Amino acid sequence: MSLKFYNTLTRTLEEFKSIEPGKVGLYTCGPTVYNYAHIGNFRAYIFEDILRRTLKYCGYQVTQVMNLTDVDDKTIRDSRERGMDLDSFTSEYKKAFFNDIETLGIEKAEHYPEATKHIGGMIKIIESLIDKGFAYIGDDSSVYFSIEKFPNYGCLAHIDMEGQRPGARVSADEYGKESVADFALWKHWVEDDGDVFWESPWGRGRPGWHIECSAMSMTLLGNHFDIHTGGIDNMFPHHEDEIAQSEASTGEKFVNYWLHCSHLIVNGEKMSKSLGNFHTLRDLIDKGYSGREIRWLIMSAHYRQHLNFTFDGLSGTRSVLQRIDEFFIRLKELLKESDQGDDKVKELIADTEFRFRSSIEDDLNISAALASFFDFMKEVNKLMDAKKIGGAAAEDLLNFCRNIDTVFGALQVEKEDEVPADILQMVEDRIQARTDRDFATADRLRDEITAKGWKIEDTAKGHRVVRIN
């Protein structure tokens, strides 16, 4: 079996080969910390988490770098609007970001570089670009990258450079394909920047957004690394500009595989802060949804397909996850059985592992991987109904699920059954009744608890309440 990814650079499905055997350098564009990230942003981070987990499942040692954009047009604009210095403003959102990824079960990257701590590296790249004739100082004293000097410009976004206006310049961090132009590497200080500036050979100023990612990725992963990702809106201009300035400065190929996820959509439009159609993770948590439910909804669609966000869709995850929880509770109950169980179990595990692995290796086809898990669950349920699963088989099945959950990150095999509050109350009342030697009430409560599908088991540490299968 072999791992394949759809490479945006070539628009084809390619077999993945890492530069160094067994190791992968992965750069994922991180959040601009000017607000709480919305779940559209988290679609990108969850896709990258599935990518990272898949690489690890396939045996690679992953070094993932996710940057924090803590200086750009938006962070400066909004910190000034709030009357705060840039650092205190962005640190609130950095903290929130780390809490949010934990809520969503996103594994931590190896490095989270902050743009403001890498200004020296950015200045070095810009100096080399000026030396090599790829960059020039404009009449506004900012430094620009000259796209006509880089013949490969447009290679990622597949832009035909014929007929583009030579010499046109754009200083904003974000612009569309219709404004293809020389872009800012270093922005000369203007009054709107307030006290946000660094000294440079070109006077006080600050970096453009694109150079930030080039500097941080090359510092931590080397000039040439394996995979670079982001949401599809990052492909142009951000990633196109990263390729141009990195390759022009080092003379080496920058990245082998570019992977981009599609947007999270609301009523046919991209979920975005500017359209106001967004939900932050905290909004949804406050509405009673769990991080696991949100992760499940977002990860279950293939990363290159549009995913339409609806509350019905989100609520639908609850019953799926409940079925999964019940499945594991039932399976764990069988651990205490002494017999071995059916031979079919080993075969079922091997077949499912094959389907699961071929699915994730096929450009992270998580929907097919989930389908293989659901079919597996159905078969195991049938075997359990037929009392054909013994302790050793249950152990094997659970271990297999733990293994595939290193990719899903959401099965929660170890989760204990949640006992409903009314059952807990009845259990308490029964204990009290027994203490009061009111055995009639105690017996009645026990029967009521049983009727509701629960039983009280005595253990060495007292008692526990378990679901009756």
* Residue 372 contacts residue 357 (beta carbons within 8 Å): no
DSSP state of 320: H
Residue 229 Cβ vs Zn ion, minimum distance, rounded to whole Å: 10
Contact between 29 and Zn ion per CB under 5 A: yes
213 binds Zn ion (CB under 5 A): yes
| The entry of Zn ion, ligand AMP, none that residue 31 binds, CB within 5 to 8 Å by partner kind | ligand AMP
Q: Compute the distance between CA of residue 331 and CA of residue 385 in angstroms, rounded to an integer.
A: 11
Q: Quick one: angle between helices 391-408 and 311-333, nearest 10?
A: 150
d(CA 44, CA 54): 15
Contact partner, 43, from Zn ion, ligand AMP, none, Cβ < 5-8 Å per class: ligand AMP
Q: How far is the CB of 176 from Zn ion (least distance, A)?
A: 17
Place of tokens 């293994």: 403
The residue ranges that bind ligand AMP (CB under 6 A) are: 29, 31-32, 40-41, 43-44, 230-231, 233-234, 261, 263-264, 270-272
Residue 233 touches which of ligand AMP, Zn ion, none (Cβ within 5-8 Å per kind): ligand AMP
Q: Which residue type does 216 have?
A: M
- As measured in angstroms, the least distance from the Cβ of 74 to Zn ion is 13
Q: Which is nearer to ligand AMP, 231 or 390 (CB)?
A: 231
Residue with tokens 């100096």: 127
Other CB atoms within a 10 A radius of the CB of residue 176 amount to: 10
Site string for Zn ion, 70-89 (x = CB under 5 A): --------------------
Q: Of 14-22, 25-33, 315-323, 456-464, which segment contacts Zn ion by CB under 5 A?
A: 25-33
Residue from 39, 102, 37, 26 nearest 68 by CA: 37
Distance in Å, CB of 238 to Zn ion, minimum:
5
3-class secondary structure, 242: helix
Closest contact distance (angstroms) between CB of 293 and Zn ion is: 29
Question: What single letter denotes the amino acid at residue 234?
Answer: N
CA distance 242 to 431: 67
127, 148, 227, 249 from 152: Cα distances, Å: 21, 9, 19, 13
Q: How many residues touch Zn ion (CB under 5 A)?
A: 2
For Zn ion, which stretch binds (CB under 5 A), given 24-32, 165-173, 286-294, 330-338? 24-32
User: Taking contact as CB under 5 A, which single stretch among the options 182-190, 207-215, 324-332, 461-469 is the one that binds Zn ion?
Assistant: 207-215
Q: What distance in Å separates the CA atoms of residue 339 and residue 391, rounded to the nearest whole number?
A: 6
Interacting partner of 213 out of Zn ion, ligand AMP, none (Cβ under 5 to 8 A depending on kind)? Zn ion
Minimum Å gap between C-beta 84 and Zn ion is 24
Q: Which residues bind Zn ion (CB under 5 A)?
A: 29, 213
